[in-house]
């Protein structure tokens, strides 16, 4: 099939403003799709990559309720438990309350954390040792260091809100994660230190957010979880124990059916963009009725002339889509709403496929009209 | 000139329908065009001159009768076959030039050459030669809006002859031009006919233009009403 490519490119160049606006509208659409999709994939990935050899116990009331620290000893005694550690969400304000400075900050027990989570992190023995020995030290994730421009030896001050007092800790290590479920935008400090601060300021004390158990045998996870929850079923500290994978899924479900909402939102944006690009292509086709007649007169077949209309829409949409997906790809690994944006090649392919679909659909009716247009009608400029 | 006609219209009817009204433009028309002839079609508006050109160029179909080109019935071809046939055999020249405004002169001339099996370099050489023949070598990279009407028509002629077609069909080629430019275009057509033996069928209202042809065919109400050697 003979397509006058030079003419296609010349049209795009000649109507540069229209072409640019079309590209920008597709760019925005695919960008929105890409970001929403990356968020959904991020949630799915964190659930999929979470460990099934660890159990997480939290309050059965809510993720925001606490459990007494003393349960740690009791849980550690249970058969099948290799090690127990605990995390406590400190909250607080770093610099200001803007979302830019809102990242995870937890009080932990360093030796047990190393035992339970150490294999997931890239951190030298020397750093673990320094962290363990210095009660007012902390380690931070590599992404957090980059985003907040923090380096080793810097001090981080966080004004408490859930717990009173201001923590003032020195960065002794910057970790990288081996798995996506362990994000790199979190700070870990000594639970003892934050607990003591809270205690001296008259705040809450001896409480933790979650316990994490490393299991001797993952096959025992179900029985052990049931056993822990049964133990505390009739106490004021009812627990909900599940594998880390299920815990991540529960965390993700806090967003409600956000993936569905995002999918609907993305769909609406794509349809709106289709209307815009289709309108542009129709306008182009109307302006070029006579040119279609000339091309057909010169000997271009109806198929090649109508393909020209399709190709033009396809080119513009693919350029917009490719630019958008390049930007989306650069978001890979970034945090958004406590979720690591994940941009696999599948998402890139989906974005490009949608852009191509937009191009083909928007060019379909103009192509059909072009195909049917007789030379005589075209030359007389009757569309 | 050969006795064997290059183009033969035999008993051709062409009827256009507008709403409920039928417009009989051609009524049982018979017409032969010999190879190498330069023929002018004249007659009042609506007499069917342009319709004949459209039928000869296979951009329209008769309601009855036959349009034969070198013995081949054009009516029996489908759209794709007719397109391919046009690319090989016909060069069109329109009154309004009908150049692509987004392409330069040489790019316009290259358009029909894209449909030939020639390699890219050869196509370019052929386009440049065509522009040289019409005297526009110096302006091959100009866009149509940077050319005068006469120059635009020269580019259109270059586009029409670039593929070395067997017939040139010109519909009022001087209709939009001033007298001087019109004379130059007619000189060019005449030269193409004389030097290359190019068959030309030209529709015109202008008796001076018709004088350049070998033969003038007078039409009225869809029939040949007279003809003479110019």
Q: In chain A, which residues have their Cβ closer than 8 Å to the Cβ of B94?
A: 379
Residue B26 lies in a domain: no
User: CATH number, domain at B142?
Assistant: 3.40.50.300
Q: Between A and B, how many CB-CB pairs are < 8 A?
A: 66
Backbone angles phi, psi at B12, to 5 degrees: -85, 125
Query: What's the sign of the alpha-carbon dihedral A357, A362, A365, A369?
Result: negative
For residue A382, pLDDT beyond 50 = no
Average pLDDT, integer, range B170-180: 89
Which pLDDT belongs to residue A253?
Answer: 62
Which of A77-91, A368-382, B76-90, B187-201 is the least confident region? A368-382
Locus of tokens 């917009």: A320
pLDDT at B76: 87
Q: Categorise residue B77: left if φ over 0, alpha if ψ from -120 to 50, beta otherwise.
A: beta
Q: Which of B60, B80, B94 sits opposite A303 (nearest CB)?
A: B80
Q: Identify whether B5 is part of a domain.
A: no
pLDDT digits (tens, 9 = 90+) for B120-152: 999 999 999 999 999 999 999 999 999 999 999
**Of A2, A299, A302, Cβ closest to residue B86:** A299
Closest CA to B116 of B163, B71, B152: B163
ipTM: 0.91
Place of tokens 């009173």: A164
Interchain pair A299, B94: CB under 8 A: no
**Which of the residue ranges A102-111, A177-186, B2-11 has the most confident prediction, judged by mean pLDDT?**
A102-111
Residue B98 to residue A294, Cβ atoms within 8 A: yes
Report the pLDDT averaged over residues A82-94: 94
Number of other residues whose CB lies within 10 A of the CB of residue B132: 13
Mean pLDDT across chain A? 89
Q: Are A214 and A54 in contact (CB under 8 A)?
A: yes
pLDDT tens-digit series, residues A313-355 = 899 999 999 999 999 999 887 777 767 788 999 999 999 999 9
Of A286 and B168, more confident: B168
Is the residue at B193 inside a domain?
A: yes
* CB-count exposure of residue A3 (10 Å: 0-12, 13-18, 19+): middle
Helices A5-14 and A16-49: crossing angle in degrees, nearest 10, is 100
- Mean pLDDT over each residue of chain B, to the nearest integer: 91
Asked if B15 has any chain A CB less than 8 Å from its own CB, the reply is: no
Question: Residue B229 — φ and ψ, nearest 5°?
Answer: -75, 140
3-state secondary structure of A94: strand
Nearest CB among B59, B94, B102 relative to A376 is that of B59
Of residues A204 and A154, the one with the higher pLDDT is: A154
**Boundaries of domain holding B201:** 38-60+89-229
Strands annotated E in chain A: 54-59, 67-68, 81-89, 104-108, 121-122, 137-141, 155-159, 166-177, 186-190, 207-208, 210-215, 239-243, 335-336, 339-340
The answer to whether position B33 is within a domain reads no
pLDDT of the residue at A383: 39
In a domain, B69, yes or no: no
- Give residues 169 to 208 of B whose Cβ lies within 8 Å of A: none
Domain count, chain B: 1
Closest CA to B189 of B206, B207, B202, B205: B202
Q: How far is Cα of residue A350 from the mean position of the Cα atoms in its chain?
A: 16
How far, in Å, CA of A294 to CA of A75, rounded? 84
Whether the Cβ atoms of residue B213 and residue B202 lie closer than 8 Å to each other:
yes
For residue B15, tell me if it sits in a domain: no
Rounded to whole angstroms, the Cα distance separating B52 from B68 reads 12
- Residue A171 pLDDT > 90: yes
What are the residues whose beta carbons fall under 8 Å from the beta carbon of A149, sequence distance 6 or more?
Answer: none
CA dihedral A59, A64, A70, A73 (to 10 degrees): 60
Interchain contact, B115 vs A296, CB within 8 Å: no
Q: Other CB atoms closer than 10 Å to residue B152's CB: what's the count? A: 24
Written as six digits, the tokens of B74 are 């054009």
Q: Exposed, middle or buried: residue A73 (CB in 10 Å: 0-12, 13-18, 19+)?
A: exposed
Contact: B59, A2; criterion CB under 8 Å: no
**Chain B hits for A13, Cβ within 8 Å:** 102
Chain A residues lying within 8 Å of B86, measured CB to CB: 297-299
pLDDT band at B1; cut points 50, 70, 90 = very low
Give bridge partners of residue B66 from the DSSP assignment: B10
A1 in contact with B, Cβ within 8 Å: no
Residue A276 C-alpha, separation from nearest chain B C-alpha, in angstroms: 24
The span from the CA of B174 to the CA of B176, in Å, is: 6
Residue B46 lies in a domain: yes
Mean pLDDT throughout A183-189? 92
- Closest by Cβ to A298, choosing from B54, B107, B112: B112
CA distance A349 to chain B (A): 34
Q: Do B115 and A300 touch (CB under 8 A)?
A: yes
Mean pLDDT check: name the lowest of A174-183, A253-262, B17-26, B42-51: A253-262
A201 touches chain B (CB under 8 A): no
Q: What does the longest C-alpha to C-alpha distance in chain B come to?
A: 53
Q: What is the mean pLDDT of residues A278-282?
A: 89
Query: pLDDT tier at A252 (50, 70, 90 boundaries)?
Result: low
| Any domain includes B7 | no
């Amino acid at each position: 099939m003979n397509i006058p490519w030079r003419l296609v490119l010349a049209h795009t160049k000649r109507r540069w403003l229209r072409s640019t606006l079309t590209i920008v509208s597709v760019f925005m659409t695919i960008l929105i799709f890409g970001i929403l999709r990356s968020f959904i994939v991020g949630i799915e990935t964190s659930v999929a990559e979470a460990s099934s050899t660890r159990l997480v116990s939290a309050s059965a009331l809510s993720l925001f309720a606490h459990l007494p620290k003393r349960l740690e000893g009791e849980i550690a005694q249970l058969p099948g438990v290799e090690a127990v550690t605990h995390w406590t969400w400190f909250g607080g304000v770093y610099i200001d309350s803007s979302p830019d400075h809102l990242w995870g900050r937890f009080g932990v027990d360093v030796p047990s954390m190393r035992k339970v989570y150490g294999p997931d992190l890239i951190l030298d023995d020397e750093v673990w040792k320094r962290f363990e020995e210095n009660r007012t030290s902390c380690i931070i994730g590599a992404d957090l260091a980059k985003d907040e421009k923090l380096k080793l030896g810097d001090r981080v001050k966080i004004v408490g809100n859930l717990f009173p007092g201001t923590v003032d800790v020195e960065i002794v290590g910057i970790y990288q994660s081996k798995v996506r479920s362990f994000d790199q935008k979190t700070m870990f400090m000594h639970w003892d230190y934050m607990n003591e601060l809270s205690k001296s300021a008259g705040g809450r004390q001896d409480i933790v957010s979650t316990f994490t158990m490393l299991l001797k045998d993952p096959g025992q996870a179900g029985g052990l979880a049931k056993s822990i929850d049964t133990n505390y079923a009739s106490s004021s500290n009812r627990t909900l124990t599940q594998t880390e994978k299920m815990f991540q899924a529960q965390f993700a479900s806090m967003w409600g059916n956000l993936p569905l909402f995002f999918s609907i939102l993305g769909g609406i944006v794509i349809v709106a963009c289709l209307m815009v690009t289709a309108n542009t292509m129709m306008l182009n086709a109307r302006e070029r009725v006579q040119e279609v007649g000339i091309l057909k007169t010169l000997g271009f077949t109806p198929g090649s002339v109508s393909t020209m209309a399709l190709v033009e829409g396809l080119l513009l949409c693919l350029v917009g889509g490719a630019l958008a997906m390049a930007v989306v790809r650069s978001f890979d690994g970034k945090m958004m709403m406590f979720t690591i944006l994940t941009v696999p090649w599948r998402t890139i392919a989906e974005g490009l496929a949608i852009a191509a679909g937009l191009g083909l659909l928007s060019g379909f009716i103009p192509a059909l009209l072009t195909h049917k247009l007789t030379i005589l009608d075209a030359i007389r400029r009757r569309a | 000139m050969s006795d064997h006609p290059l183009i033969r219209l035999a008993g051709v009817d062409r009827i256009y329908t507008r709403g409920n009204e039928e417009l009989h433009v051609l009524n049982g028309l018979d017409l032969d065009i010999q190879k190498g002839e330069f023929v002018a079609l004249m007659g009042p508006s609506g007499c069917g001159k342009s319709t004949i050109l459209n039928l000869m160029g296979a951009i329209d179909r008769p309601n009855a009768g036959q349009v034969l080109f070198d013995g081949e019935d054009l009516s029996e071809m489908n759209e794709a076959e007719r397109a391919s046939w046009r690319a090989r055999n016909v060069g069109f020249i329109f009154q309004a030039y009908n150049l692509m405004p987004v392409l330069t002169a040489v790019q316009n001339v290259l358009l029909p050459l894209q449909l030939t099996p020639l390699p890219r370099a050869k196509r370019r050489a052929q386009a440049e030669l065509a522009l040289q023949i019409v005297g526009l070598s110096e302006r091959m990279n100009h866009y149509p809006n940077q050319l005068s009407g006469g120059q635009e028509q020269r580019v259109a002629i270059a586009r029409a002859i670039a593929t070395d077609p067997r017939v040139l069909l010109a519909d009022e080629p001087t209709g939009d031009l001033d007298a001087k430019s019109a004379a130059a275009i007619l000189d060019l057509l005449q030269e193409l006919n004389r030097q290359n033996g190019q068959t030309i069928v030209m529709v015109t209202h202008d008796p001076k233009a018709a004088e350049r042809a070998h033969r003038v065919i007078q039409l009225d109400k869809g029939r040949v009403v007279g003809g003479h050697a110019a």
